[in-house]
Amino acid sequence: MSGEKITLLYSDEVNEYDFGEGHPFRGHRFKIFFKFLDKTLHKNTDFEIIPCSPVEDKDLLLICSEEYIKYVKNFYELAYQGKINYLTALGSNFISIDNIPGQNCGNIEKAARVIVGQMKKACDLIMEGTFKKIVSIGGGLHHAKPSFGEGFCVYNDIAFAAKYLIEKYSLRKILILDTDAHGGNGTMEYFYEDSRVLFIDIHQDPKTIYPGTGFTWQIGEGAGKGFTINCPLPIGACWDSYEYVFQNLIFPITEEFMPEIIIRYGGTDPHWNDTLAHLGLTIADFRKIGEFTQQISHFSKGKVIDAIASGYNEKIIGPGWLALISGLYAIPFHIEEPENFQKNRDIDTFEATKTMVRKLKENLKNFWKSLK
């Protein structure tokens, strides 16, 4: 064991972030991770877990409308009691169909507040200098918008972190790096016209997957033009594509931006055998994402908030999430791919990625000297 001790923010209530039977986002996914963690690392010496409290309405008002908070609080309370009216829910202006829980769901709204609470704590602990790096397990609910919940996301904890860092700590240069397989439409919307937040998102081509946004031409508007960067990858894209985007785009832009803090999020849904997405990463590649985040943290004086929640193949959650974390903290961790992957490096996919990067450089060259 070398390097810093891993600090995880996690509270038992997060298990209640469970959309119930028949839904891909289940609470026991977190238990799977912690079981794997306990088996693999030593509690207290290798890692510590800090529990957090739910945030109050006044905190949520930083990212949500009052009407939305009122609606979801009531809606998920009824769902938790098994008294949900599906027909009413389907016609709701506040949530999408994939945010409607199935039977025996958990106390989702309360859990969502705890997840935002973890982000608040992460910001405070880093800004007070207690830690350089911190990981929120359950965080990264990037599809949630100010008055609309979708894509299994109720409150956008990432948007909360950036807004909170701007408000409380007067930060003016925040890098958000989204490596989830799906485009972070909620996070993008929050900061589309805001130059204080540089949002870089690498994901599966939105023409082939939910949420259907996150194209190269979406680069922000007004003062925020040039500060939203979407890197869509073709179906089946492997590590060579990621590495190309990291080295040719994300690294130079981060060096030029010099963020005061980096918020990276995304779990293991870019894995080749995920049940919801169709990218091509292996467990070992998730470690490389962690290592890359660690590398670019040289530009943010080491400050990183990391958040992990996605990944819908349950065999991948334990080793995949730990691979992300072990890369970030530069700790040794023996990686085994739980399923046999016949990796065929696909030249067409790699070529498509290079074309995408060329397009992005063209769109962004007036905003970033490093891309000229």
Query: Contact residues for Zn ion (CB under 5 A)?
Result: 180-182, 269, 310
Q: Which residue number, 24 or 51, has a Cβ lying nearer to Zn ion?
A: 24
Q: What is the 3-state secondary structure (H, E, C) of the chain?
A: CCCCCEEEECCHHHHHCCCCCCCCCCCHHHHHHHHHHHHHCCECCCEEEECCCCCCHHHHCCCCCHHHHHHHHHHHHHHHCCCCCHHHHHCCCCECHHHCCCCCCCCHHHHHHHHHHHHHHHHHHHHCCCCCEEEEECCCCCCCECCEEECCECCCHHHHHHHHHHHHHCCCCEEEEECCCCCCHHHHHHHCCCCCEEEEEEEECCCCCCCCCCCCCCCCCHHHCCCEEEEEECCCCCHHHHHHHHHHHHHHHHHHHCCCEEEEECCCCCECCCCCCCCCECHHHHHHHHHHHHHHHHHHCCCEEEEECCCCCHHHHHHHHHHHHHHHHCCCCCCCCCCCCCCCCCHHHHHHHHHHHHHHHHHHCCCCHHHC
Q: Smallest distance, Å, CB 190 to Zn ion? A: 17
d(CA 13, CA 34): 14
Q: Which residue number, 182 or 278, has a Cβ lying nearer to Zn ion?
A: 182
Report the residue number whose CB is nearest to Zn ion.
182
Q: What would the two tokens of residue 95 be? A: 């949530």
Q: Which residue number, 54 or 184, has a Cβ lying nearer to Zn ion?
A: 184
Q: Smallest distance, Å, CB 43 to Zn ion? A: 29
Residue type, 364: L
Q: Which residue number, 141 or 322, has a Cβ lying nearer to Zn ion?
A: 141
The neighbour count for residue 346, using CB atoms within 10 Å, is 17
Q: Smallest distance, Å, CB 210 to Zn ion? A: 8
Q: Smallest distance, Å, CB 152 to Zn ion? A: 8
Q: Which residue number, 300 or 310, has a Cβ lying nearer to Zn ion?
A: 310
Q: What angle do CA 140, 252, 310 make, to 5 degrees?
A: 15
Q: Which residue number, 226 or 318, has a Cβ lying nearer to Zn ion?
A: 318
Q: Beta strand 174-178 with 228-233: parallel, antiparallel or unpaired?
A: unpaired
Q: Smallest distance, Å, CB 70 to Zn ion? A: 27
Q: Which residue number, 96 or 310, has a Cβ lying nearer to Zn ion?
A: 310
Q: Which residue number, 145 or 182, has a Cβ lying nearer to Zn ion?
A: 182
Q: Smallest distance, Å, CB 183 to Zn ion? A: 9
